[in-house]
Amino acid sequence: MKKSIMAAVAAAAFMGLGTVGTAVAADVSGFADIRYHALMDVEGLAATASLLQGFSAPQAGQFSLNAEVDVIHKADDATVRIDLDLLNALNPNGPTETGNTDVAVGAFNGEPVFSQVTVEQANVSMPLNDMISLTAGLFNTPFGMEGQDATDVNFAYQGALQHTVPSNVGGAMVTVAPTDQVSVKAGYTNARSDVTGAFDRANDYFVVASFAPSETMAVTAGYQTDNGTTGGIKNAVGNQIDVNVTADLGMANVAAEYLVGDPATGSNNFDSGYGLTLGYDVMDKVNVGYRYQAWTNEGAGQPDMSLHSASLNLRSTDSCVIRVDYTNIVVDGSGVTTHGEDVTVQMVHSF
């Protein structure tokens, strides 16, 4: 549910429009994501912990909290959007050993992660004509199947394939929608490798085409480059192609995805992966979900991985979901099979 507000402070702080003392109408929405981590057994595999927990890697028996506030303002034909994320608010892993005032709560892509407020999106969109629109700034990438928010999936965590795709990109995107069934998004962005902290002046582009033959089915194919020269995603993933299909069958829904990469180096880096997601409405407010994903890494003797997730979702109200999620990751390499397991109880309340 979105709420309309009139506030000069919100206009100045969030929108950057007008001056203090000028009332600006905006739509505010968001969610709170509270989790209890009942079980987390990854057998010392840091990579598995990162895949299971995303930005957060709390220990079993602890709570964690993420939240988001989205502000959207429409003026004439332009739409301004600001999304702010509060990550790891409960700091479940305690202070760092170095005595920093920030609190490390896990790692992502090898970098320490702290409790923080980050800008997920900050962009302006406007129509150029009846078929074409332009978005500029920081925005969610249309590449890949899963969204990044807790309200986008029926599981406690995004799948492993989503973690190889940058969630947000900075640049410009043109959307062409000649019909209600067909759309093409093309973007020119800053280097994807910048998300790892590597300074790189290269630019990248993506093209994502979607076709909806009916109101219940969609097919999407995308290509994105990594023209960076050093480090980060360039070495680990490289250029990517993604194809996914989603279908709503009434009480059931099905989604399938295939993702292939082209890493600059061939040892222990992402090669390709695929996934299948199923959902079924047991009754009016109860849904169960299952997700399977598998992916391979390049290089002789490098491990292959697979992920199984099962979820029970209870919609207590129209704006609140209570979820129990079980996730298992299997790492199979050099004749040794290792497991990582996670059981999370989650409440996602949107507004």
Provide the CATH number for the domain around residue 253. Answer: 2.40.160.10
**Residue 82 CA, distance from chain mean position:** 16
Work out the pLDDT band at 265, boundaries 50, 70, 90.
Answer: low
Q: CA-to-CA distance for 70 and 72, rounded, in angstroms? A: 7
In this prediction, residue 299 carries a pLDDT of 61
| Cα distance between the two ends of the chain | 5
156 within 8 A of 72, measured Cβ to Cβ = no
Mean pLDDT of 95-110: 40
Closest Cα to residue 140, out of 82, 56, 198? 82
Residue 81 has pLDDT above 50, yes or no: yes
Q: CA-to-CA distance for 2 and 160, rounded, in angstroms? A: 31
Residue 73 has pLDDT above 80, yes or no: yes
268 to 31, 106, 226: CA distances (angstroms): 37, 22, 18
Residue 108 has pLDDT above 60, yes or no: no
Q: What percent of the chain has pLDDT over 90?
A: 48
**Residue 349 CA, distance from chain mean position:** 18
Determine the longest span between alpha carbons in the chain, in angstroms: 68
Each residue of 204-257: pLDDT tens digit? 899 999 999 999 999 999 999 877 655 444 445 778 899 999 999 999 999 999
Residue 121 has pLDDT above 90, yes or no: yes
Residue 314 has pLDDT above 80, yes or no: yes
93 token code pair:
């892993």
Torsion 234-236-242-244 (CA) sign: negative
Work out the pLDDT band at 43, boundaries 50, 70, 90.
Answer: low
222 within 8 A of 209, measured Cβ to Cβ = yes
**DSSP label at 151?**
T
In this prediction, residue 76 carries a pLDDT of 83
- Show the domain range for 239: 3-350
In this prediction, residue 130 carries a pLDDT of 93
Beta strand segments in the chain, E:
3-6, 25-41, 62-75, 78-87, 104-108, 111-114, 116-127, 132-140, 168-176, 182-190, 203-214, 217-224, 239-248, 252-262, 270-283, 286-297, 304-317, 320-333, 336-350
Q: Give the mean pLDDT of the chain.
A: 79
Lowest-confidence pick of 39-43, 288-292, 325-329, 347-351: 39-43
pTM beyond 0.85: the answer is: no
Domain count, the chain: 1
283 token code pair:
């009754």
116 token code pair:
């923080």
CB neighbour list of residue 99: distance below 8 Å, 6 or more residues apart = none
CB neighbour list of residue 18: distance below 8 Å, 6 or more residues apart = 8, 11, 12, 24
Residue 32 has pLDDT above 60, yes or no: yes
